[in-house]
């Protein structure tokens, strides 16, 4: 199905080329931030709050300073002198770097201990004595919205409640009218739980300020090096650290998953300390700190409604969201989209009207919201629409696959204008679902289910046919703090025909060193093997917005193709000159130009590149380099049809995922093996929130599962055998017809699993369960419905 235009030796698009980066990774030779060791380097550790909400009465650093090796202890009061105790968030809110008087969540940074070794820093951290006056924490977001609740952000002058923002999309009046007249209305209250990425590498940095040259090199775990350089310059410009004096280097990253987009206080403290003491400072989080204090994901409370006919035509949807943002809005959204791209919640279905609204609220929890392969909240949107589609099918007694088939947007109706304002580029939803049904053997499974039900056995089949939205820009709509969302590629081909290419994005495990090389190989015919890809160093890479929201292929991948085409145009001119024909007489085949009708008159790309340095036409610029900053005309809309089959043990509530078929459509595929790896990983990160993961807080704001002993990350043992496949609908506006894929499986799979479990339980009148659906939750629901007599 996947067509390769290039030979294996060139390995352009469609080849399952082995990942170039794996040569170092599988030999343990990756170079991560904690591998960086600099002369005179100091180590930082952070004292954190045991309380979710408390006044700081006093911080006594005297004992900590006595610990051998401790050189300094920094508190909010120290930073206040430089006006560095607060920093802006991506959403134009404010976040404490270190508190001067109040802590707002458990595990918040309170003081930083700097020492000559990591051990001394840890001992010093334990010796910092903080006197707190605990206050009643506000943990429940609904309670926090209550006007009678105390105001948490007393630092904001004039703030009289805990409400952050209200946001809406779609047509409220029209939607209300359709709902009031519809024959069938279904409604569920759902919570998409607070979860946390558990990348193997935690966050950290080495801040290296060189006093003599007034220059900061910041080695750090960031998915967006250039944006952070700009943010640091905006924050520290007033002390003389201007943007040309800052170099951000993001070395190899051991998983990002959105958790490495935000600016964490630890980074800023490390910079401040290095600036003050003139020595490099390393800060590396431990596992529990990462889980307890870093950017969380999700935490959306959704009231979801669907209106339709008795026969099964969807007419309208309505979604009302309460978003628990923790104590500050530090969600890594594009600036104009406070609820991310949640308004894609109308899904893959053709109906006229929808209304989506969201309110965000402060609580005494850590900040975040956008992480964990979410495509800016598409995970929440897809869960809402796919759960409601099944809920509606159940209500009217129609097969959920058939209901979907009857409501899908048709492939000839693209570009399709959604009721909430998006223009879907392309898709073939019928083909995707049909393929998934064929692979899983849908009709036979339904027959088997009938037989099983007659015997009292619980078997369920769940479907999710989702539409994703990835690739931010276009820059007219998408920006981060005013920086427009494009991305970039710079290709430099050396005289011998080997190349280096640099990008504004930053791989965290996605395989960019391989796939970008393949894109360039496709366009120029230079073997991918001979194209070195570099990312993550702001001194060398062209400016870009970074890797998240599955945007690298839609933006920087496109930039690579366009830059390579500029070079091919130059190669054509040189070929015409060398072969003494007009450019129109030349034909291109990957890797060479030849004269039409005379294939023996040929110049290879390597010969043409060499000529660009040695023998080019008079007046032509020397060299073989091109740069492109790509601003996508639209987002790309990947899609998927997922079917999950579960068997449930009625006595224990134990859930066994028997089958999981995932048919994805990410347009043209660059590297099928890498895409399959992305899908496998993404599906595992979908089963995680569906069945295992949730960050739980008690009423006092204590995190109850703040270690990986209690927070259940699925392993290979819990993962079913994923059965994957593809439908290919190229993006019409992307230079190589590709769409992003990195997040699709995580976005699309949780509702397939939830739908399968609820399908199994539906004979007992169970219509909805919140994820994670655990055996206990199943058992409890069955018990409440009298399943045990």
- Of 87 and 371, which has the nearer Cβ to ligand CUM? 371
Distances (CA, A) of 364 to 102, 237, 259, 559, 739: 11, 32, 20, 42, 38
Based on the residue annotation, tell me whether 374 is a catalytic residue of this protein.
yes
List beta partners, residue 58. 131
Contact string (CB under 6 A) for ligand CUM, positions 549-568, x = contact: x-------------------
Dump the DSSP string for 543-593: P---S-TT-IIIIIIHHHHHHHHHHHHHHHHHHHHHHTS-GGGEEEETTEE
Tokens at residue 191, please? 């919570």
The two counts, helices (H) then strands (E), for the chain are 19, 33
Residue 481 gets which letter from DSSP? T
How would you classify the pairing of strands 94-96 and 86-88? antiparallel
Residue closest to ligand CUM (Cβ): 258
370's contact among ligand MCN, ligand CUM, none, with CB below 5 to 8 A by partner kind, is: ligand CUM
What does the alpha-carbon distance between residue 498 and residue 496 come to, in Å, rounded to a whole number? 6
| Options 133-141, 313-321, 669-677, 764-772: segment touching ligand MCN (CB under 6 A) | 669-677
Does the protein bind ligand MCN through residue 558 (CB under 6 A)?
A: no
Q: Which of residues 729-748 bind ligand MCN (CB under 6 A)?
A: 738-743
741's contact among ligand MCN, ligand CUM, none, with CB below 5 to 8 A by partner kind, is: ligand MCN
CB of 534 to ligand MCN, least distance (A): 15
Does the protein bind ligand MCN through residue 11 (CB under 6 A)?
A: no
Based on the residue annotation, tell me whether 27 is a catalytic residue of this protein.
no
Three-class secondary structure of residue 653 per DSSP: coil
Does the protein bind ligand CUM through residue 548 (CB under 6 A)?
A: yes
Based on the residue annotation, tell me whether 373 is a catalytic residue of this protein.
yes
198's contact among ligand MCN, ligand CUM, none, with CB below 5 to 8 A by partner kind, is: none
Closest by Cα among 93, 96, 92 to 77: 96
Does the protein bind ligand CUM through residue 264 (CB under 6 A)?
A: no
Evaluate whether 115 touches 71 at the Cβ level (below 8 Å). Answer: yes
Three-class secondary structure of residue 192 per DSSP: strand
Does the protein bind ligand MCN through residue 703 (CB under 6 A)?
A: no
Q: Which of residues 294-323 bind ligand CUM (CB under 6 A)?
A: none
| Options 371-379, 606-614, 668-676, 757-765: segment touching ligand CUM (CB under 6 A) | 371-379
Out of 20, 373, 572, 733, the only residue in the binding site for ligand CUM (CB under 6 A) is 373
| Options 174-182, 304-312, 433-441, 543-551: segment touching ligand MCN (CB under 6 A) | 543-551
Residue 25 gets which letter from DSSP? H
User: Which residues, 6+ apart, have CB-to-CB distance to 157 below 8 Å?
Assistant: none
546's contact among ligand CUM, ligand MCN, none, with CB below 5 to 8 A by partner kind, is: none
For residue 58, is it left (φ>0), alpha (ψ between -120 and 50) or beta? beta
For residue 481, is it left (φ>0), alpha (ψ between -120 and 50) or beta? left
Does the protein bind ligand MCN through residue 547 (CB under 6 A)?
A: yes
729's contact among ligand CUM, ligand MCN, none, with CB below 5 to 8 A by partner kind, is: none
19, 373, 377, 551: the catalytic one is 373
- The 3-class secondary structure across 712-743, one letter per residue, is CCCCCCCCCCEEEEECCCCCCCCCCCECCCCC
Out of 104, 112, 145, 371, the only residue in the binding site for ligand CUM (CB under 6 A) is 371
Q: Which of residues 85-144 bind ligand MCN (CB under 6 A)?
A: none
Contact string (CB under 6 A) for ligand MCN, positions 511-540, x = contact: xx--x-------------------------
Does the protein bind ligand MCN through residue 549 (CB under 6 A)?
A: yes
Based on the residue annotation, tell me whether 743 is a catalytic residue of this protein.
yes
Three-class secondary structure of residue 222 per DSSP: coil
Q: Which of residues 370-399 bind ligand MCN (CB under 6 A)?
A: 373
Contact string (CB under 6 A) for ligand MCN, positions 171-200, x = contact: ----------------------------x-
203, 205, 374, 644: the catalytic one is 374
Tokens at residue 608, please? 């043409």
Alpha helices per DSSP H over 397-511? 400-407, 429-440, 442-454
Which residue numbers are catalytic? 223, 373-374, 743
Where along the sequence are the contacts to ligand CUM (CB under 6 A)? 223, 256-258, 261, 370-375, 548-549
């Amino acid at each position: 199905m996947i067509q390769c235009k290039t030979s294996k030796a060139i390995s352009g698009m469609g080849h399952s080329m082995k990942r170039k980066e794996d040569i170092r990774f599988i030999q343990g030779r990756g170079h991560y931030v904690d591998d960086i060791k600099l002369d005179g380097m100091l180590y930082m550790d952070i004292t954190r709050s045991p309380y979710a909400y408390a006044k700081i009465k006093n911080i006594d650093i005297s004992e900590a300073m006595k610990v051998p090796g401790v050189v300094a202890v920094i508190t909010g009061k120290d930073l206040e002198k430089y006006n560095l105790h607060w920093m802006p968030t991506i959403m134009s809110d404010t976040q404490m770097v270190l508190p001067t008087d109040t802590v707002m969540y458990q595990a918040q940074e309170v003081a930083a201990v700097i020492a000559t070794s990591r051990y001394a820093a840890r001992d010093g951290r334990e010796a910092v004595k903080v006197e707190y006056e605990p206050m009643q924490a506000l943990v429940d977001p609904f309670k926090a919205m209550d006007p009678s609740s105390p105001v948490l952000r007393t630092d904001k002058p004039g703030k009289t409640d805990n409400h952050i923002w209200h946001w809406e999309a779609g047509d409220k009046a029209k939607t209300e009218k359709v709902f009031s007249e519809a024959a069938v209305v279904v409604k569920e209250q759902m919570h998409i739980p607070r979860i946390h990425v558990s990348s193997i590498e935690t966050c950290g940095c080495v801040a290296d300020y060189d006093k003599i040259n007034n220059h900061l090199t910041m080695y750090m775990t960031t998915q967006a090096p250039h944006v952070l350089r700009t943010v640091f310059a905006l924050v520290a410009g007033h002390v003389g650290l201007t943007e040309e004096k800052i170099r951000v280097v993001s070395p190899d990253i051991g998983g990002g998953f959105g958790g490495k987009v935000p600016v964490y206080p630890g980074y800023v403290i490390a910079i401040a300390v290095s600036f003050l003491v003139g020595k490099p400072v390393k800060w590396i989080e431990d596992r529990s700190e990462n889980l307890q204090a870093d950017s969380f994901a999700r935490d959306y409370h959704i009231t979801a409604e669907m209106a339709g006919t008795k026969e099964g035509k969807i007419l309208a949807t309505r979604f009302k969201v309460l978003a628990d943002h923790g104590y500050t809005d530090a969600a890594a959204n594009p600036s104009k989209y406070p609820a991310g791209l949640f308004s894609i919640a109308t899904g893959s279905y053709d109906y006229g009207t929808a209304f989506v609204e969201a309110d965000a609220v402060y609580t005494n929890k850590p900040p975040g919201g956008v992480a964990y392969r979410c495509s800016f909240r598409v995970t929440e949107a897809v869960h809402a629409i796919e759960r409601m589609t099944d809920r509606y099918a159940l209500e009217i007694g129609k097969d959920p696959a058939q209901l979907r088939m009857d409501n899908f947007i048709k492939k000839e109706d693209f570009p399709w204008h959604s009721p909430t304002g998006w223009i879907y580029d392309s898709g073939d939803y019928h083909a995707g679902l049909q393929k998934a049904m064929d692979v899983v053997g849908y009709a036979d499974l339904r027959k088997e289910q009938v037989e099983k039900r007659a015997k009292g056995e619980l078997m369920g089949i769940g479907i999710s046919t989702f539409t994703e939205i990835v690739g931010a820009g276009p820059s007219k709509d998408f920006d981060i703090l005013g920086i427009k969302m494009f991305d970039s590629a710079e290709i430099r081909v050396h005289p011998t025909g080997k190349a280096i290419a640099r990008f504004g994005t930053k791989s965290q495990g996605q395989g960019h060193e391989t796939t970008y090389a393949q894109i360039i190989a496709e366009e120029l015919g230079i073997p991918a093997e001979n194209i070195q890809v570099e990312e993550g160093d702001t001194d060398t890479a062209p400016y870009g917005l970074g890797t998240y929201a599955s945007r690298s292929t839609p933006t920087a991948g496109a930039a690579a193709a366009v830059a390579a085409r500029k070079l091919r145009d130059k190669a054509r001119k040189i070929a015409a000159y060398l072969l003494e024909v007009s450019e129109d007489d030349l034909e291109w085949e990957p890797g060479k130009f030849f004269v039409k009708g005379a294939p023996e008159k040929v110049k290879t790309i390597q010969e043409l590149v060499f000529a660009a340095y040695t023998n080019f036409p008079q007046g032509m610029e020397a060299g073989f380099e091109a740069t492109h900053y790509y601003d996508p005309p639209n987002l790309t809309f990947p899609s998927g049809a997922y079917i999950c089959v579960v068997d449930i043990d009625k006595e224990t509530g134990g859930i066994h995922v028997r089958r999981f078929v995932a048919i994805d459509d990410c347009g043209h595929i660059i590297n099928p093996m890498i895409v399959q790896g992305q899908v496998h990983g993404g599906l595992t990160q979908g089963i995680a929130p569906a069945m295992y993961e949730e960050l739980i807080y008690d009423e006092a704001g204590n995190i109850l599962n703040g270690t990986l002993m209690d927070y259940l990350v699925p392993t290979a043992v819990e993962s079913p055998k994923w059965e994957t496949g593809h439908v290919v609908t190229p993006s019409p506006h992307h230079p190589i017809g590709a769409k992003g894929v990195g997040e699709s499986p995580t976005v699309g799979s949780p509702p397939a699993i939830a739908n399968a479990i609820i399908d199994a339980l539906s004979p007992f009148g169970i219509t909805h369960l919140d994820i994670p659906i655990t055996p206990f939750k199943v058992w409890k629901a069955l018990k409440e419905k009298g399943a045990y007599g």
